[in-house]
Amino acid sequence: MSDLLYANMFRRLVNKTGGVEAACATVSALLGHDISKGTISRIQNGFAAVPMIYVYALEDATGDYRFTKLRVQEVEDRVAAKEGQSITRLAGEVGKEAGEAVNALILAAETGDPKAMAEARVEVEEMLHAGETALSTIEKLKA
């Protein structure tokens, strides 16, 4: 996955938490020591890697388990590829992600809102990931 995708996903969690200060407080409570606003800012702007412990704290605080869902999907895709994944399931996943991407793109085009643009980017990245997974699985099944 792209670092920019992770940064955008992290930014979304920060915003859902209530902003940088709220995210700092949430993560600090889990870690037991303070973290700076600059750290959160660097992460959400793609200038630092996204620490999963920060993600877990923000996911639990917001109820948005986007990183966890993405990781589960990646692991399931690997297992499925080894076991001979159903092409029908892959088609459904690509279609689902494509539909979500189209909806997000339309919303971004209609509103011009920067947050909607960032969300559209995340949805398109997820669609591309689903497509890449399908292509990779097809290649493995051909072998």
- Give the model confidence (pLDDT) of 52-65 as tens digits: 999 999 999 999 99
- Give the model confidence (pLDDT) of 74-107 as tens digits: 887 777 666 655 777 888 889 999 999 999 999 9
- Give the model confidence (pLDDT) of 23-39 as tens digits: 999 999 999 999 999 99
What's the chain's average pLDDT?
89
Output the pLDDT for position 125.
94
Higher pLDDT, 80 or 13: 13
User: What is the full DSSP assignment across the chain?
Assistant: --HHHHHHHHHHHHHHHTSHHHHHHHHHHHHTS---HHHHHHHHTTSS---HHHHHHHHHHH---HHHHHHHHHHHHHHHHHHT--HHHHHHHHHHHHHHHHHHHHHHHHH--HHHHHHHHHHHHHHHHHHHHHHHHHHHHH-
Q: With 0.75 as the threshold, say if the pTM is over it.
A: no
**Does the pLDDT of residue 143 top 60, yes or no?**
no
